Chains A and B, each alone.
Chain A
Amino acid sequence: MDRKIRILAAKPGLDGHDRGIKVICNALRDAGMEIVYTGLRQTPQQIVNAALEEDVDIIALSILSGAHDILLPKVADLLKKNKADHILLLAGGIIPEEDIPVIKKRGICEVFGPGTTTKEIIDFIEGHCS
């Protein structure tokens, strides 16, 4: 493999729940991917800037506060604006079932809810980046 899959793990909004995203960072790294974690309280603009700077293939967004409907599509829009919509957007956290089709239509490729195994996420990513 010439280049490792590069992922930006990000926490949009004000939500401080980062157990999940940290577990996923560890699992993806153990699976041989390169991970950059933004830390908490990132605006959509900061996330997109970091993604461009780090030249990532994927942005993994974790949000449990309920602000997903507003913040996640903003990340997608900013990627488009920066001609970087080749970057795959994934989301996880507490996102109600009925909101999933809405944010998928707005540019989120897949949503992983509570109970997802890290293996499912790794398989999904490898499937998309192979």
Chain B
Amino acid sequence: MSSEHNTVQNEKRRWEENSLNKRPVKKHSNDWGDPIEVLYTPEDFQDTDYLSSIGFPGEYPFVRGVHPSMYLGRTWTMRQYSGFGTAEETNKRYKYLLKQGQTGLSVAFDLPTQIGYDSDDPMSEGEVGKVGVAVDSLKDMEIIFKDLPLDKLSTSMTINAPAAILLAMYIAVAEKQGIGSEKLRGTIQNDILKEYTVRGTYIFPPRPSIRLITDIFAFCSKHVPLWNTINVAGYHMREAGCSAVQEIAFSFSNAIAYINAALKAGLDVDCFAPRISWIFNTHNKIFEEVAKYRAARKVWADLLRDRFKAKDPRSWMLRFHTQTSGVSLTAQQPENNIVRAGYQALAAVLGGAQSVAACSFDEALAIPTEQSVRLSLRTQQILEHETGVTDTVDPLGGSYYLESLTRKMEQEINDLITKIDDMGGAIEAIEKGFIQKEIESRAYSYQKEIEEKSKIIVGMNEFKVKENIDISLFKPDTRDAQKQIEKLQELKKRRDQSKVQSTLTAVRKAAEGEKNLMPYFIEAVKAYATLGEICGILREVFGEYHAARTI
């Protein structure tokens, strides 16, 4: 081995001197500033022990995948993020997507829902049904999932601050369909820390927010055992500007904070860790993205096994959904985005994703139309059925470059996690503004690179054309907000007011004390108490978060 290594090393030096250096070479560097070699050879991972550092899929350290047979056993879930306007329109879109071959649902809620305001709240003006579907009460959730069998589907809900209440509604809808909560599969995002740094749909301060998260962990481990109780997100931090390494390290640090909180609340790590799931961002650089996922699986497995002493191998597994990068899309020559999403989805699949959403090409301009979202789904189906990338597990494994990059990223991710640990963990790093500042300064440098053209974005700062964009864009129905408000007022007239009041009083008492809030939320939503009413009480008890300014 070592004599072979010396030979390769000597031969590479000879090749560099005799052949390579006679030509001009444009060298690149990776995301964290290290130079990328012109050529990788076996010497670049000769220190790597295959069995301990790479191993077999489905086994520790999971570099090659979390399942032994990966896509040969089960393909990834095709789950386009969608939802808009009213519950009726959203239900129709879901039925359309399922008919087109989509295999899971992903619910986009409007901003008032995400921030716990009813549609008739003055704060909701202009926002109802715009970036997602409006949910005021259980009534809306019943319509969204009408004729959709919740025991046969998995549903991902991008909801954070009021995640517990939306989950309560989902459980109540299932009950009305005659389906027990033990059969429900899906996720709520429920990842509040990144709301404070980049996504912005926080309501309550960190402490009560984290209590809501641990209440969900505890409740679901008993009553909704197949539910992924949290979908920790690197996605939005990456969209806001951070690097691939930062995406993993920052989101892992957030997860470490949740795990510590759950352990402090008396939960056993193996009772909740297997239900932690992830959402990451698959950006443009294919090898960097694939290496990111391979490295992240190992770092997570090590953290859970060694730091948190989890015994169940399912606790060590990093299972993730990924969406292609929204911020990489351009409003100029929007058709180019079809190609971007295609390459990014390819990287996601080569990286071993469990679930994928490909951004639609019109998303830099509006929310997707039925046709553009179908094209995103077709992009995934072509990957599955036509390209052959799923014919064997981890097909890029063993690439000199990829393996070397995987090892380096693992190191970089671990170093950054240690740095955040040394600051006292994610919550302290956020309070100090460290994570926000890192993301913000990188976003600014990225913009400068585009303007200086040291970074080329095809069709935007180079290869430009004069164009009148003539694609047909989604247009929200301007009557939706009014319809939603009327529906809400009608509901408030018809429901049993005394039951609403008594269940809301029970929520308040539970929030003031230490009881698990989930059962109280379920009772309140079943009485058709609204999301705004429940969040209003929690706002009174918990207080509201006000962001620290970093600019």
Residue positions of A touching B, CB distance < 8 A: 9, 13-19, 22-23, 25-27, 35, 37, 39-41, 43, 65-71, 94, 96-97, 113-115, 117-119
19 A-B interface contacts by CB (under 8 A) = A14-B111, A14-B115, A16-B195, A18-B198, A19-B240, A19-B443, A22-B440, A22-B551, A37-B551, A41-B123, A65-B130, A65-B131, A66-B126, A66-B130, A70-B126, A71-B126, A96-B365, A114-B331, A118-B451
The answer on a CB contact under 8 Å between A18 and B331 is no
Could you say which residues of chain A place their CB within 8 Å of the CB of B476?
A: 66
- What residues of B have a CB within 8 angstroms of the CB of A17 in the complex? 200
B444 interface contact, C-beta 8 A:
yes
Min C-beta distance of A71 to chain B, whole Å: 5
A residues in contact with B473, CB < 8 Å: 96
Closest A residue to B131 by beta carbon equals A65
Q: Which of the residues B123, B198, B547 comes within 8 Å of A14, measured between beta carbons?
A: B123
- With A14-B112, A14-B115, A27-B444: A114-B364 Cβ-Cβ less than 8 Å: yes
Question: Does B493 belong to the interface (CB within 8 Å)?
Answer: no
Q: Which of B258-317 contact A (CB under 8 A)?
A: none
With contacts A67-B130, A94-B366 taken as known, whether A115 is within 8 angstroms of B125 at the C-beta atoms is no
B131 partner residues in chain A, CB cutoff 8 A: 15, 65-66
> Is there contact, CB below 8 Å, between B125 and A70?
yes
> Which residues on B sit within 8 Å (CB–CB) of A71?
125-126
Contacts A14-B123, A27-B447, A96-B365 hold; do A65 and B331 have CB atoms under 8 A apart?
A: no
| CB-nearest residue of chain B to A37 | B551
3 smallest beta-carbon distances between A and B, as pairs:
A16-B200, A67-B126, A70-B126
Interface contact B364-A23, CB-CB below 8 Å: no
- Residues in A with CB closer than 8 Å to B104 are none
Q: A66-B131, A119-B451 given as contacts; is B443 within 8 A of A22 (CB)? A: yes
Chain A residue numbers with a CB within 8 Å of B125 are 67, 70-71
A94 touches B111 (CB 8 A): no
B207 within 8 A of A: no
Closest to A9 in B: B551
A115–B330 touching, CB < 8 Å: yes
Q: What is the CB-to-nearest-CB distance from B128 to chain A, in angstroms, rounded to a whole number? A: 9
B550 and chain A: residue at smallest CB distance: A22
Contact A39 B127 (CB under 8 A): no
Contact flag A118-B331 (CB < 8 Å), given A65-B130, A94-B365, A96-B365: no
Residue of B nearest to A44 (CB): B125
Query: Cα distance A39–B198 when bound, in Å?
Result: 12
A96 to B549, CA, bound (A): 30
Q: Is the CB of A115 within 8 A of B460?
A: yes
Q: Are the CB atoms of B365 and A40 closer together than 8 Å?
A: no
Query: Nearest chain-B residue to A120 (Cβ)?
Result: B451
From B111, B124, B239, A19 is in contact (CB under 8 Å) with: B239
Q: Is B469 an interface residue (CB 8 A)?
A: yes
| A19 & B327 in contact (Cβ 8 Å cutoff) | yes
Q: Is B332 an interface residue (CB 8 A)?
A: yes
Chain B 515-527 interface 0/1 with A at a Cβ cutoff of 8 Å (1 = within): 0000000000000
Cβ contacts under 8 Å, B443 to chain A: 19, 22-23
Q: CA–CA, A14 to B366, complex, Å?
A: 17
Most chain B CB inside 10 Å of its own CB: which residue of A13, A26, A66, A114: A66
The residue in chain B whose Cβ has the minimal distance to the Cβ of A30 is: B444
Complex Cα distance A114/B330, Å? 7
Cα distance A97–B112 when bound, in Å? Answer: 25
Say yes or no: is B342 at the interface (Cβ < 8 Å to chain A).
no
**B200 contacts A18, CB within 8 Å?**
yes
B199 within 8 A of partner (CB): yes
Complex contact A115–B332 (CB within 8 A):
yes
Residues on the A chain within 8 Å of B549, using CB: 37, 39
Q: List the A side residues contacting B241 at CB < 8 Å.
A: 19
Interface residues of B in 66-93 (CB under 8 A from A): none
CB-CB under 8 A from B365, the residues of chain A are: 94, 96
Nearest neighbor of A95 in chain B, beta-carbon distance: B365
Given contacts A13-B126, A23-B443, contact A115 B331 (CB under 8 A): yes
CB-nearest residue of chain A to B124: A14
Bound complex: CA A37 to CA B551 (Å): 7
- Measured between alpha carbons, how far is A14 from B332 in the docked complex, in Å? 27
Q: Kindly report which residue of chain A lies nearest to residue B450, judged by CB atoms.
A: A117
Complex CA gap A40/B123 in Å reads 13
**In the complex, which residue of chain A has the Cβ closest to the Cβ of B123?**
A14
Closest residue of chain B to A18 (Cβ to Cβ) is B200
A14 touches B127 (CB 8 A): yes
The distance from the CB of B547 to the nearest CB of chain A, in whole angstroms, is 5
Residues of A within 8 Å of B231, CB to CB, are: none
Contacting residues, chain B, for A16 (C-beta < 8 A): 195, 198-201
A9 to B551, CA, bound (A): 10
Please give me the residue from chain A that is nearest to B200 by CB atom: A16
